[in-house]
């Protein structure tokens, strides 16, 4: 099950569970669309993989299976 991380690892922008801007790689590294496009050029800096839009968990299931509140941020920036 996806963690649904709460922020962009690059710019720390909030990415709530319903966000259509959240992008993830196969390891669930999470970035906003702007950072993926402008800074990362579509390549994950952690694993070298590509990105896809993060799925949105339905509201009734987000209550039962809540999103993570642990923020991940790259110390060295992007």
Domain spans of the chain, in order of start:
1-68
pTM over 0.85, yes/no: yes
- What's the mean pLDDT in 64-78? 91
Angle at 15 between CA 74 and CA 1, to 5 degrees: 85
Question: Where does 1-68 sit in CATH, by number?
Answer: 3.30.40
Is pLDDT above 90 for 41? yes
Q: Assign residue 47 a region: left if phi > 0, alpha if psi is -120 to 50, beta otherwise?
A: alpha
- What's the mean pLDDT in 16-43? 97
Query: How much is the pLDDT for 49?
Result: 97
């Amino acid at each position: 099950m996806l963690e649904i991380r709460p922020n962009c690892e690059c710019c720390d922008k909030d990415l709530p569970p319903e966000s259509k801007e959240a992008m993830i790689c196969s390891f669930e590294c999470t970035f906003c669309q702007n950072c993926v496009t402008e800074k990362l050029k579509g390549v994950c800096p952690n694993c070298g993989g590509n990105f896809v839009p993060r799925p949105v968990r339905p509201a009734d299931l987000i209550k039962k299976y809540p999103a993570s509140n642990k923020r991940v941020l790259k110390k060295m920036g992007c």
